[in-house]
Amino acid sequence: MNSIFDKVVQTPHIHARWLNTLSMMENAGAKKIKKCEHPILANEIILKHSAEEARHAYYLKKQIKKVEKDSCPTYEKQYLLAPDFTYYYLHSLDIQVCRYLKKNFGYKGDDLKYAAYLLVTYAIEVRADELYPKYQQVLDTIKSTVNVKSIIAEEINHLQEMTHQLKEFSPRYEEFCKTAVEMETVLFNSWMDAVQKEIA
């Protein structure tokens, strides 16, 4: 991962697309959370989480101006890295988790939506807890004006909140989490491979 970040930050145009790619994925996460909300029983944590993911997307968009002004105005393919993988990464994870919960535990309806929200979000937060600090280390090394420290702090809190909710949700939460993380790891590795090929 660090070798990819080292290459990304060397070229402003690629760095801008990297930031835009992260922004798009944060925005996709915010939209996914909103879709999982119960129309009446939405709690404070889920509202806070969707709002913060949307803020991360906006914050990353603002960071783009520090590396290449007037770059990456939208999430169209030409402004992203590995766009096909980026578009379907979160959606693919959500589908896999839903199938797992349906097939093995019979979840359906709002219960399925909520369980999938918990597991998908948990797996993504585990990934964010690894990715953003490593990216920040590279930014610090080159003394970049770009930084993701505020995102790191919030993602740490998100992971703690998701773990707490999962413990309350099911006594089998550790089994659920392990499976979701394994699914996400396969998708993440494919995405990283695609990014590496594009920037090589």
Per DSSP, the residues of 44-68 read HHHHHHHHHHHHHHHHHHHHHHHHS
Round to whole Å and give the CA distance between 193 and 1: 10
Which ranges constitute the DSSP H helices of the chain?
Answer: 2-8, 12-36, 44-67, 83-105, 109-141, 149-169, 173-199
pLDDT at 28 > cutoff 90 = yes
- The whole-number pLDDT of residue 119 equals 96
pLDDT at 19 > cutoff 90 = yes
pTM here is 0.95
pLDDT at 35 > cutoff 90 = no
pLDDT at 131 > cutoff 90 = yes
Judge whether 190 and 85 are in contact, CB under 8 Å: yes
Q: pLDDT of 108-123, one tens digit each? A: 998 898 899 999 999 9
Exposed, middle or buried: residue 31 (CB in 10 Å: 0-12, 13-18, 19+)?
middle
pLDDT at 37 > cutoff 90 = no
Boundaries of every domain in the chain: 2-199
Q: pLDDT of 158-180, one tens digit each? A: 999 999 999 998 999 999 999 99
